């Protein structure tokens, strides 16, 4: 004979198990606080204030990526435009980027000197740029490579570099643009020798060993009738992204008076957008035309 009714037993068991569970859970909760000391192992990586913060991304193994996806040589304009689309997305989605510069499979983003985005933590800057750029690359791929499916998701490595003065920042961008020029001149001749003269890559490399820029221009001009300066600016100069006011026209469906039926209303809105320029950054002209980029408030 049980001294308790079934209902009573059930209720007591429930109560017990609740207590038991409470204890167990309490254990885990306490456990969390017990483990929280591990947070102190995170290092502070705040960027020095009042410095320009540059994040530079580079495609990982893009040699292989370009081959697998049949990129045109020496330049694939679709690939370059996709890079720029991603960079624009980064500028729109993240905060405080005042200028970006891209060439080949790399892009540099400059955060304003006085940015306090995420308390200037270097890791936030670089991982948010890298991840936003990478997800955009896959997201917008189709818009630039309609006929070429993306075979695998690409990776990008990034780094943060600080520049304490306007001069050092300008010299950084000049360095990247000079790099663009030198590589593009080389690649233009290199691929002309292969594609038009039928040399093997090794032969082309051999042919160019020790040549100066002038020699390469000469080869292009005399052998392929190419005036290097007539090559597209985007290839020779890379892409500069700056914020510019843009008029955006949107067609809006509005309920119109009967006599206007069938017509549509358009709304024009002026917004700042990251706009691509293919211009020289090395001389002073660009900076004089865009004095706001380096201005004291940034």
Q: Residues within the annotated binding site for GTP?
A: 58-63, 104-105
Residues with Cβ within 8 Å of residue 197, at least 6 apart in sequence: 223
Site string for a second copy, 227-246 (x = CB under 8 A): -xx-----------------
Residue 73: DSSP 8-state: S
Q: Pick the piece of the chain touching a second copy (CB under 8 A) from 64-72, 215-223, 244-252, 284-292.
A: 215-223
Task: Looking at residues 173 to 202 of the shown chain, list those that interact with a second copy (rule: CB under 8 A).
Answer: 174-175, 178-179, 181-182, 185
> End-to-end alpha-carbon separation of the chain, Å?
85
User: In the set 77, 127, 195, 203, which binds a second copy (CB under 8 A)?
Assistant: 127
Of the listed pieces 146-154, 244-252, 258-266, 286-294, which binds a second copy according to CB under 8 A?
146-154
Q: Does position 271 bind a second copy by CB under 8 A? A: no
The closest of 181, 282, 196, 193 to 231, measured between CA atoms, is: 181
Q: Are 144 and 79 in contact (CB under 8 A)?
A: yes
- Give the residue with the Cβ less far from a second copy, 50 or 264: 50
Q: How far is CA 25 from the centre of its chain?
A: 44
Query: Of the ranges 18-26, 68-76, 244-252, 265-273, which one interacts with a second copy (CB under 8 A)?
Result: 18-26
Choose which of 10, 64, 70, 164 interacts with a second copy (CB under 8 A). Answer: 164
Burial call 90-110: b when 16+ CB within 10 Å, e when fewer: bbeebebbbbbbbbbbbbbbb
Residue ranges in 107-126 that form contacts with a second copy under rule CB under 8 A: 118, 122-124, 126
Residue with tokens 């010299």: 171
Residues making up the annotated binding site for Mg(2+) are 58-59, 105
The order of strands in the sheet holding 156-163 is 156-163, 52-59, 106-111, 97-103, 239-252, 265-277
C-beta closer to a second copy: residue 30 or 260: 30
The minimum distance between CB 14 and a second copy, in angstroms, equals 7
Number of residues that bind a second copy (CB under 8 A): 88
Nearest distance from C-beta of residue 70 to a second copy, angstroms: 19
The Cα–Cα gap between 93 and 266 comes to 26
Residues 44-73 that bind a second copy (CB under 8 A): 44, 46, 48-51, 57, 60
Nearer of residues 34 and 264 to a second copy, judged by Cβ: 34
Query: HSE (CB half, 13 Å, CA atoms) of 90?
Result: 34
């Amino acid at each position: 004979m049980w001294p308790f009714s079934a209902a009573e037993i059930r209720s007591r068991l429930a109560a017990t198990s609740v207590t038991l569970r409470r204890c167990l859970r309490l254990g885990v909760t306490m456990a969390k606080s017990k483990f929280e000391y591990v947070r102190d192992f995170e290092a502070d990586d705040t960027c020095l204030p009042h410095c320009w913060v540059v994040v530079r991304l580079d495609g990982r193994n893009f040699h292989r990526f370009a081959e697998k996806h049949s990129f045109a040589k020496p330049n694939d304009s679709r690939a370059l435009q996709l890079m720029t689309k991603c960079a624009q997305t980064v500028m729109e989605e993240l905060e405080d980027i005042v200028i970006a510069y891209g060439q080949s499979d790399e892009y540099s983003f400059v955060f304003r000197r006085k940015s306090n985005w995420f308390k200037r933590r270097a890791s936030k800057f670089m991982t948010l740029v890298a991840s936003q750029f990478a997800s955009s690359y896959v997201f917008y791929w189709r818009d630039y490579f309609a006929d070429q499916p993306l075979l695998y998701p690409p990776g990008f490595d990034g780094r943060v570099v600080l520049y304490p003065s306007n001069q050092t920042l300008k010299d950084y961008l000049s360095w990247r643009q000079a790099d663009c020029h030198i590589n593009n001149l080389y690649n233009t001749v290199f691929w002309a020798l292969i594609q038009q003269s039928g040399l093997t890559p090794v032969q082309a490399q051999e042919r160019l060993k020790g040549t100066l820029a002038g020699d390469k221009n000469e080869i292009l001009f005399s052998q392929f009738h190419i005036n290097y300066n007539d090559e597209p600016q985007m290839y020779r100069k890379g892409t500069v992204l700056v914020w510019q006011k843009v008029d955006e026209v949107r067609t809006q469906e509005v309920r119109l008076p009967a006599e206007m039926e069938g017509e549509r209303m358009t709304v024009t809105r002026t917004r700042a957008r990251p706009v691509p320029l293919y211009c020289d950054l090395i001389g002073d002209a660009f900076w004089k035309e865009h004095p706001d980029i380096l201005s004291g408030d940034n």
